[in-house]
Structure 1
Amino acid sequence: MTIQQDRPQADDATQVLALTTLLARQQAAYRAEMTPSLGARRDRLDRLEAMLIAHQDEFARAIDADFGRRDAVVTGLTETMTVRAAIRHARRHLKSWMKPKRVGVSWAFQPGQARIQPQPLGVVGIIAPWNYPLQLLLNPLVGALAAGNRAMLKPSEYTPVFGEALRRAVAGVFREDEVAVVTGGAEVATAFTALPFDHLIFTGSTSVGRKVAEAAGRNLTPVTLELGGKSPAIIDNSADMKLTASRLAWGKLLNSGQTCVAPDYVLTPRNRLSETVEALKAAMLTQYPSFAGNPDYTSIIAPRHYERLKRLAAEAGQAGAEVIWLGEPDDANRVLPPALILGATPDMAVMREEIFGPLLPVLPYDGVDEAIARVNDGDRPLALYWFGADAGAREKILENTISGGVTINDVILHLAQDGLPFGGVGASGYGHYHGEHGFRALSKEKPVFIQSRFSAGGLLYPPYGALARRMLEILKRFS
């Protein structure tokens, strides 16, 4: 479904009507088949995977066109492969996820039975950002389809080529009342968030996430918010610096830092600050010997984002920080080389805002307690990374910080584990998905109690006599 953006403002009502009509069609289809069978759900997952395989090259080209330059290997590793892994994981476990789960019944209500029965919610809305436009639409869709729901997808207006390619591909394998893609700009996105979905999943910035939650709240629509924030990487004194720097460089420069769980800043022991800087420079230049003209290195998505990143670095330098550029910016192609920033202070924008690009502040700390305090002084991050071999220090960090997820001795990889929930906490979001956690988030886990023919509950019905009073005494004694 495409909603054009060159219409006059007066046509907004028509846009909203088209979305409302689509939602009504999906709701009607859901009511006609409220609990799809295991076979029906597997069929939808199979069609999703077949579509992904058939169009993977087209999707990679479309994303490359939207970015200006992003290698197909990046798209394959971070998007296509992760979605296919999620589909396979869901297919493998779907039968057990769908089974009602028996729960215990206290002795006073036996021989009654109780169970939790998962049931599809209905129609799920999914809004994705531009940085991983395929993964962040289709990974939540896997959970929605596994749980038996219908879904409406809204790609970012920053990836229009991909959005149109996905719309055509989805329309080729799914009926519009099963899965539909809605393309269009910010006005369409605003109308989309205002729809009375049965659940809404939004991935994006914290500022926009607040607006999405407010709009969904008017309909009492439950929301999963996957936001971002300043995800720290903490290097312990016990860390292997060469290995640590290599892994940090990979995670920071993947997609040129345009990753919600990218390391946003590094905390390193003061006595290892120079070593850390030199190791990071060496690792980054090993992985990317050049930046301008290097097809492995991704362009910044849009001029506005490119200029913002340059401004963050310039403001930090003007305020007294040392900015170490590892190459020359290519303004014409929006290629921004990495920069290490030393001496950044909390009042600088580069330390207040999520960076979302290849700038990396490196900050010294004295002792694990100071590192913990640095993390806890800010909003709760979407991810936290710790490098080292000291198990005691590691456990102290884990027990005294709160973040959406953690990877130890690497970065980002907790996101790739389908058995782990993915989600934020506080300003980095709320709610989880991936694997069974996505299935459960997009199901109504309905409590069911089945009364027995031989229940003694009738002994407590009024009028209350001596028998009822004796029964009450027994219940108080043993409950």
Structure 2
Amino acid sequence: MKNDLDPKLGIESLFRAQQTAFARAPMPDWDTRARHLRALDAMLLSNREAITQAIHADFGNRAANETDLADMLGSHLGIRHALRHGRRWMKPQRRSSGMLLAPARAKLVPQPVGVVGIVVPWNYPLFLAVGPLTGALAAGNRVMIKPSEFTPRFGELFAQLIAKTFAPDHVTVVNGEVDVARAFTSLPFDHLLYTGSTGVGRQVMRAAAENLTPVTLELGGKSPALIGPNARFDEAVDAVVSGKLFNAGQTCVAPDYVLVPRGRAQAFIDRAGALTRKMYPGFSSNTDYTSIISTSHLERLRTLAVDAASRGATLHALTDDASSNQGDSPTRRFAPLIVTGAPDDTAIMREEIFGPLLPLVEYDTFDEALTYINARPRPLAMYLFETDRAKIDAALARTHAGGVTVNDTLLHVACDDLPFGGIGPSGIGAYHGVDGFRTFTHMKPVLIQSRFNLRALVRPPYGKRVAAVVKMFLR
């Protein structure tokens, strides 16, 4: 369905309507917020099949089980977590007023920020819309959502389902191309959350800066997997490959490259190939393997592989159908490849891959591996495989990443009680669980003065009295 909103006037009208509605009810109670969350959850569960089919159609092929695991289950569990804990999150928090202000009382009052904008990427279109929406609704806000233009079928369906569940001045979905996205991000939201590429993230931040809009940016980067010298090697390979090939590597926290002890690269390749063929038998027709989202992304992956090979890298096929990567693929299927010997200045070693290409880098010492990670921009995720506690502690202390999973991949994102977010070039801010609630909440400091206080002792005219008070507190 063609979007008939004027990118500037129509979207702004929706935004003003939400501002007006928020002004009428700026502090909804928990029962109201919980009712909205339950309505969202019921909408998802009752339309599960339709949502799965829409996402499948947008990708060209995506297994229903993969959508259930990543999009539907993650969304549902996040809502249930907020329903269990949200009443406690919104209670005022007592703080100390300190000796100088005693007996005044101090507290933090959680207050909804107002109207929240959410820009959703294409790779997990439901989960990355509902996750921040859950936090925003638990915090009592109004919300506008902009899905990706790469998932038009899902975007249209989601807009219809949201419209049936919420009033447009409460939650609304705005679909459209790049011009709509630009108009959307230029609105003076009370908070704007964007998930996507680093390059577009910079544009979003510039647009938000014009309105001094607070932003949460969930970006990406090259997330390393480090297999330590004392790792359970076979389990590590299985975890890396499983995490990499989920959604065909189109995951912001997918392992982007792997550091392995020198001499173990071939063992990694052999194990990875065996596991891939076991997970995706009859690869060319296997429907469990997700297609690449668009022909442009498919061509980008081919270019990365060809460029690396032209610079001396070796491509190792993990299936018997890697030849399909060289020609036209009506299903946009890209067979997974491991890449060894790629120079550091090749595109595959500098850019986020976002697909089923996996470079291996051998190292001699554990310290060398940590130095290699630290020499690169801080990633969204890091995966460490090691059984030696001292090495685990050293890696956690000496490296930076938005989040870490030890002895597995991806799973820290699924923990609703852990914040999800990047650091530096991989993002700003975080959400999920209580951290999502806080992202979309102003923790308003409130001091309640007592009738009996020190005010009369410290006001002019200054002299010995004020000096005595200051001296007492400077001891």
TM-score class normalised by the smaller sequence: over 0.9
Aligned pairs for 1:362-381 within 5 A: 362-381=360-379
- Output one character per residue of 1:56-109: Cα deviation in whole Å (capped at 9) or x when no partner: 110000000000000110000001101111101001111110000001121121
Which secondary structure state, in structure 2, belongs to the residue aligned with residue 332 of structure 1?
Answer: coil
Q: Is the 8 A contact 1:4 1:184 kept in 2?
A: no
What is the aligned partner in structure 2 of residue 277 from structure 1? 269
Aligned residues: 469
* C-alpha deviation, 1:277, in angstroms: 1.6
* C-alpha deviation, 1:457, in angstroms: 2.0
* C-alpha deviation, 1:369, in angstroms: 1.2
Amino acid at match of 1:418: D
- Output one character per residue of 1:37-64: Cα deviation in whole Å (capped at 9) or x when no partner: 1111001101100110111110000000
What is the aligned partner in structure 2 of residue 345 from structure 1? 343
Amino acid at match of 2:195: T
What is the aligned partner in structure 2 of residue 402 from structure 1? 400
Q: Between 273-282 and 436-445, report the one with greater CA deviation.
A: 273-282
**Alignment pair present for 1:91 and 2:89:** no
**Alignment pair present for 1:245 and 2:237:** yes
Between the aligned partners of 1:171 and 1:119, the Cα distance in structure 2 is 26
Q: 1:40 aligns with which of 32, 41, 64?
A: 32
Between the aligned partners of 1:292 and 1:227, the Cα distance in structure 2 is 32
* C-alpha deviation, 1:373, in angstroms: 1.3
Which secondary structure state, in structure 1, belongs to the residue aligned with residue 461 of structure 2?
Answer: coil
Amino acid at match of 1:3: N
Q: 1:254 aligns with which of 223, 236, 246?
A: 246
Which secondary structure state, in structure 2, belongs to the residue aligned with residue 242 of structure 1?
Answer: helix
Between the aligned partners of 1:121 and 1:2, the Cα distance in structure 2 is 32
Distance 1:234 1:85, change over 3 A: same
Percent of pairs with identical residues:
48
What is the aligned partner in structure 1 of residue 41 from structure 2? 49
What is the aligned partner in structure 1 of residue 384 from structure 2? 386
Aligned pairs for 1:436-451 within 5 A: 436-451=434-449
* C-alpha deviation, 1:185, in angstroms: 0.6
What is the aligned partner in structure 2 of residue 196 from structure 1? 188
What is the aligned partner in structure 1 of residue 456 from structure 2? 458
Between the aligned partners of 2:368 and 2:274, the Cα distance in structure 1 is 27
Q: Is the 8 A contact 2:229 2:366 kept in 1?
A: no
Between the aligned partners of 2:31 and 2:92, the Cα distance in structure 1 is 17
Aligned pairs for 1:175-190 within 5 A: 175-190=167-182
TM value normalised by structure 2: 0.97
Q: 2:8 aligns with which of 3, 16, 26?
A: 16
Between the aligned partners of 2:463 and 2:352, the Cα distance in structure 1 is 68
* C-alpha deviation, 1:4, in angstroms: 3.9
Amino acid at match of 2:385: F
Amino acid at match of 2:456: G
* C-alpha deviation, 1:395, in angstroms: 1.2
TM value normalised by structure 1: 0.96
* C-alpha deviation, 1:245, in angstroms: 1.4
Q: 2:301 aligns with which of 309, 321, 327?
A: 309
Which secondary structure state, in structure 2, belongs to the residue aligned with residue 335 of structure 1?
Answer: coil
What is the aligned partner in structure 1 of residue 110 from structure 2? 118
Q: Is the 8 A contact 2:277 2:283 kept in 1?
A: no
Q: Is the 8 A contact 1:38 1:94 kept in 2?
A: yes
Which secondary structure state, in structure 2, belongs to the residue aligned with residue 331 of structure 1?
Answer: coil
Between the aligned partners of 1:239 and 1:463, the Cα distance in structure 2 is 71
What is the aligned partner in structure 2 of residue 424 from structure 1? 422
Q: Is the 8 A contact 2:194 2:216 kept in 1?
A: yes
Q: 1:433 aligns with which of 417, 431, 434?
A: 431
What is the aligned partner in structure 1 of residue 279 from structure 2? 287
* C-alpha deviation, 1:203, in angstroms: 0.2
What is the aligned partner in structure 2 of residue 158 from structure 1? 150
Amino acid at match of 2:446: V
Which secondary structure state, in structure 2, belongs to the residue aligned with residue 271 of structure 1?
Answer: coil
- Output one character per residue of 1:9-36: Cα deviation in whole Å (capped at 9) or x when no partner: xxxxx32100100000000000000000
Aligned pairs for 1:58-97 within 5 A: 58-97=50-89
Which secondary structure state, in structure 1, belongs to the residue aligned with residue 76 of structure 2?
Answer: helix
Q: 1:103 aligns with which of 87, 95, 109?
A: 95
Amino acid at match of 2:427: G
Which secondary structure state, in structure 2, belongs to the residue aligned with residue 88 of structure 1?
Answer: helix
What is the aligned partner in structure 1 of residue 225 from structure 2? 233
Name structure 1 gaps, 5 residues minimum.
Answer: 6-13
Between the aligned partners of 2:12 and 2:255, the Cα distance in structure 1 is 40
Q: Is the 8 A contact 1:226 1:423 kept in 2?
A: yes
Q: Is the 8 A contact 1:277 1:362 kept in 2?
A: no
RMSD: 1.2
Amino acid at match of 1:308: R
Between the aligned partners of 1:353 and 1:465, the Cα distance in structure 2 is 66
What is the aligned partner in structure 2 of residue 131 from structure 1? 123
Name structure 2 gaps, 5 residues minimum.
Answer: none
Q: Is the 8 A contact 1:246 1:284 kept in 2?
A: no
What is the aligned partner in structure 2 of residue 3 from structure 1? 3
Between the aligned partners of 1:237 and 1:285, the Cα distance in structure 2 is 27
Amino acid at match of 2:286: N
What is the aligned partner in structure 2 of residue 10 from structure 1? none
Q: Is the 8 A contact 2:269 2:316 kept in 1?
A: no
4+ runs deviating over 4 angstroms: none
Which secondary structure state, in structure 2, belongs to the residue aligned with residue 132 of structure 1?
Answer: coil
* C-alpha deviation, 1:240, in angstroms: 1.6
Between the aligned partners of 2:174 and 2:429, the Cα distance in structure 1 is 24
Amino acid at match of 2:468: R
Amino acid at match of 2:11: L
Q: Is the 8 A contact 1:341 1:361 kept in 2?
A: yes
